[in-house]
Amino acid sequence: MKLFRHGAVGHEKPGILDVAGVKRDLSMHLAALDGAALSTESLARIAAIDPTTLPLISDAVRIGAPVPRPVNFICIGLNYADHAAETGAKIPSEPIVFIKAGSAYSGPFDDVVIPRGSHETDWEVELGVVIGTAASYVSEDEALAHVAGYCVINDVSEREYQTRRGGTWDKGKGCPTFGPTGPYLVTRDEVPDPQNLDLWCEIDGKRMQNGNTRTMIFSVRTLVSYVSRFIALIPGDIIATGTPPGVGMGVKPDPVFLRPGQTMRLGVAGLGEQMQHTIGG
């Protein structure tokens, strides 16, 4: 299934795509696409509904992030060897884990705000993992059973804030609108192999990132298991699994960064596409 949320910010309702890719309103069957709705049992009940019996949703209606703001919006740094190489970083021996601010969480088509004084705002297309059942100290063999589904994430990053403003990544990752997510939560039954998904990003129509999740250093199952040793994952939490090469800071000889008035378009195979316009803060 491809599930989503639609409506104004803070008032989103659940929706589903039918077999023809038409958007349908689920709200008569489901109050919210929150953690309680993401269990295996709940998703099975949703799957039993005939989408063609549901009301249509106009294409003019806003599509929000696919689940409400997660308690834990977790990101993994330098998880593609070729991305680490383009940034001049060493390949990590363990996953690099950081938290993206909840206020960064935004819809897949919402504007991205360039922070005041920023000169190094960058893009990062990533595969997102949505947790469906609580996970704490889970084994790698059990890890994917705790996943409700997958989504597209743009881990927007301000590189100066990230690397040269005190040595912590959070400042460069957590600015408002820096976490566009969606458009869909694609349930795990439709993604038999999360380690073989193409992902890409274009800036003003120019392809900047091309990658595949098979080149991840740490797989999805490894990441879910690893993170669960340090953070008690709850339904609705999201893990952004890292980005392939082609980010602005990696452009040679001179890095290229975002400015107001540009368009980002990005996607992951089978999970849909995002598009954001950049505006000044």
DSSP string, the chain: -EEEEESSTT--EEEEE-TTS-EEE-TTT-S--SGGGGSHHHHHHHHTS-GGGSPB--TTSPEE-SSSPPS-EEEEES-BHHHHHHHTPPPPSS-EEEE--GGGEE-TTSPEEEPTT-S-EE--EEEEEEE-S-BSS--HHHHGGGEEEEEEEE--EEHHHHHSSSS-SHHHH-STT-EEB-S-EEEGGG-S-TTS-EEEEEETTEEEEEEEGGGBSS-HHHHHHHHTTTS-B-TT-EEE----S--GGG-SSS-----TT-EEEEEETTTEEEEEEEEE-
Mean pLDDT of 219-247: 98
Domains in the chain: ranges and CATH: 2-62 (no CATH), 64-280 (3.90.850.10)
Convert the pLDDT of each residue in 104-156 to its tens digit. Answer: 999 999 999 999 999 999 999 999 999 999 999 999 999 999 999 999 999 99
Mean pLDDT of 5-14: 98
Q: What is the pLDDT of residue 168?
A: 76
Q: What is the pLDDT of residue 215?
A: 94
Average pLDDT, rounded, for the chain = 96
Of 83-87, 90-94, 129-133, 162-166, the range with the highest mean pLDDT is 129-133
Percent share of the chain, pLDDT over 90: 92
Q: What is the pLDDT of residue 90?
A: 84
If DSSP codes are grouped into helix, strand and coil, which group holds residue 181?
strand
The token duo for 18 is 């039918």
pTM: 0.96
Q: What is the pLDDT of residue 82?
A: 80
Q: Mention every residue, 6+ apart, whose C-beta is less than 8 A from residue 251.
A: none
